[in-house]
C-alpha cells in the first residue's frame, strides 16, 4: 500500500479534501474550497483537481505516493460508478466522475454517495467507533440515513435502505413531500419541514411569539427562540422531537442498532433537541431497546472525508 490516501467530500456549498496517512488513517491536512455550482457544475472537476494538486504539492507529495481517493458526491451512484443527477449541484452528474478524475489525478478514484461516506467515517472514527452496528441520520435541509453493520453499509434492493426521511408519519397529511408521497418524516423533522410546520402554526395559532418578528425563518431561529422559552417555538420543537423520537423508536424495532447518531446542521441544536428526543424515544421504544444511545455526530463536517479514506483502505 502506498503511504497516503485522499478523502474528498463534494458538497453543495464546499468541496473538502483531506490527506490521510494510509496505515492508521490519521488526517494530516484538510482543505476546503467553495463549490461553484454555476453552469451545471462545469467547474467542479477542474476546481477539485486543482485543489488536490495544490495540496499534494504543499506537502511535497506526488501522485505515485497516493493509494487512491475516496470521493463522496451528493447523489445516487450506481454500482458501476455512474454518478446520477445531483439535485443540490445544479444538476451536475450523469457521467462516470471517477473514471474521468482518474485520468486527471493519476491514481485510483472510488466514488460513493456522500451521506453513506459520512456515516462510514462516523462509524469508523466517530460515535460508532468500536461498535458492531450504527444507524446514522443526517438532519439537514432534508433527512437522510444509513445503517452500517460490521463496516458494511446496508444499501437495499433499490438503494433505498436507511431512507428514514420517507417513513410515513402522518396518515392525514395534505401537503406533498419532495418524494411525491404525503406525510413523510422529512415534512416535519428536517430543517425545512420544521420551518414549514412553524409557519403553519403561526398562521393557525394567534399566540404571540418571537418568531413573528423574524422575516425569513430558519430551523436555528426556532431552536434559539425555544431556548429563550418562547411558547410557540417550544411547541414546534416539542412536536418535531416527538415525531422524530417515535420514528427512531421504529428504527430500533426494525434494525436494533448499537447506537443512533445524528449529524447534519440541525443536530447542532444541542440539548434543546436531544433532551426531548431521547425522552420520546424511550417512551415509544420496544422495552429492550430503551437504553439505546442517541448521540450527536463527533466528526462534524469532516465525517465525509474520513469515510472517503475508509473506502479506499477497504478496497486495498
Shortest spacing between CB 246 and a copy of itself, in angstroms: 5
Q: Hey, how many other C-beta atoms are within 10 angstroms of the C-beta on 56? A: 21
Residue 107 falls in which region: left (phi positive, over 0), alpha (psi -120 to 50) or beta: beta
Which CB, 155 or 301, lies closer to a copy of itself? Answer: 155
Which H or E element spans position 49? Answer: helix 44-58
Which CB, 163 or 221, lies closer to a copy of itself? Answer: 163
- Could you tell me the CA-to-CA distances from 3 to 19, 84, 315 in Å, in that order? 10, 32, 15
Per DSSP, 208 falls in state -
- Beta carbons of 55 and 49 less than 8 angstroms apart: no
Say how far residue 128 (Cα) sits from the centre of its chain: 15
Shortest spacing between CB 173 and a copy of itself, in angstroms: 11
Q: Which residues bind a copy of itself (CB under 8 A)?
A: 132-133, 145, 147, 149, 154-164, 166-168, 171, 179-181, 183, 242, 246, 249-258, 283-289, 292
DSSP per-residue string spanning 260-280: EEEESGGGGGTHHHHHHHHHH
Shortest spacing between CB 131 and a copy of itself, in angstroms: 8
Which CB, 48 or 177, lies closer to a copy of itself? Answer: 177
Q: What does the block give as the cell for 286?
A: 420496544
Shortest spacing between CB 109 and a copy of itself, in angstroms: 26
Q: How far apart are CA 95 and CA 142, in angstroms?
A: 25
Which CB, 165 or 308, lies closer to a copy of itself? Answer: 165
Shortest spacing between CB 252 and a copy of itself, in angstroms: 7
Neighbouring residues of 81: CB distance < 8 A, sequence distance ≥ 6: 96, 97, 98, 99, 111
Shortest spacing between CB 193 and a copy of itself, in angstroms: 16
Which CB, 99 or 175, lies closer to a copy of itself? Answer: 175
Per DSSP, 255 falls in state T
Which CB, 98 or 257, lies closer to a copy of itself? Answer: 257
Amino acid at each position: 500500500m502506498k503511504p497516503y490516501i485522499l478523502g474528498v467530500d463534494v458538497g453543495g456549498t464546499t468541496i473538502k479534501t483531506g490527506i490521510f496517512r494510509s496505515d492508521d488513517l490519521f488526517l494530516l491536512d484538510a482543505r476546503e474550497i467553495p463549490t461553484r455550482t454555476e453552469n451545471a457544475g462545469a467547474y467542479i472537476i477542474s476546481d477539485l483537481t486543482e485543489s488536490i494538486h495544490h495540496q499534494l504539492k504543499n506537502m511535497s507529495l506526488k501522485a505515485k505516493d497516493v493509494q487512491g481517493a475516496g470521493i463522496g458526491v451528493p447523489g445516487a451512484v450506481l454500482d458501476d460508478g455512474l454518478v446520477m443527477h445531483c439535485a443540490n449541484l445544479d444538476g451536475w452528474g450523469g457521467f462516470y466522475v471517477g473514471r474521468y478524475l482518474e485520468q486527471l489525478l493519476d491514481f485510483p478514484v472510488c466514488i460513493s454517495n456522500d451521506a453513506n461516506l459520512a456515516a462510514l467515517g462516523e462509524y469508523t472514527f466517530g460515535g460508532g467507533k468500536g461498535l458492531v452496528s450504527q444507524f446514522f441520520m443526517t438532519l439537514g435541509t432534508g433527512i437522510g440515513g444509513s445503517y452500517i453493520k460490521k463496516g458494511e453499509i446496508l444499501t437495499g434492493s433499490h438503494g433505498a435502505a436507511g431512507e428514514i426521511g420517507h417513513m410515513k408519519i402522518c396518515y392525514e397529511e395534505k401537503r406533498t413531500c419532495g418524494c411525491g408521497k404525503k406525510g413523510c418524516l422529512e415534512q416535519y423533522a428536517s430543517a425545512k419541514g420544521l420551518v414549514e410546520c412553524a409557519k403553519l402554526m403561526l398562521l393557525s395559532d394567534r399566540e404571540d411569539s418571537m418568531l413573528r418578528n423574524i422575516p425569513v425563518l430558519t430551523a436555528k431561529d426556532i431552536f434559539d427562540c425555544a431556548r429563550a422559552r418562547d411558547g410557540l417555538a417550544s411547541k414546534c420543537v416539542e412536536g418535531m422531537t416527538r415525531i422524530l423520537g417515535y420514528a427512531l423508536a421504529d428504527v430500533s424495532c426494525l434494525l436494533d442498532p448499537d447506537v443512533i447518531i445524528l449529524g447534519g446542521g440541525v443536530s447542532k441544536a444541542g440539548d434543546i433537541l436531544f433532551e426531548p428526543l431521547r425522552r420520546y424515544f424511550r417512551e415509544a421504544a420496544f422495552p429492550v431497546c430503551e437504553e439505546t444511545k442517541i448521540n450527536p455526530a463527533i466528526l462534524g463536517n469532516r465525517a465525509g472525508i474520513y469515510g472517503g479514506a475508509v473506502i479506499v483502505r477497504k478496497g486495498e
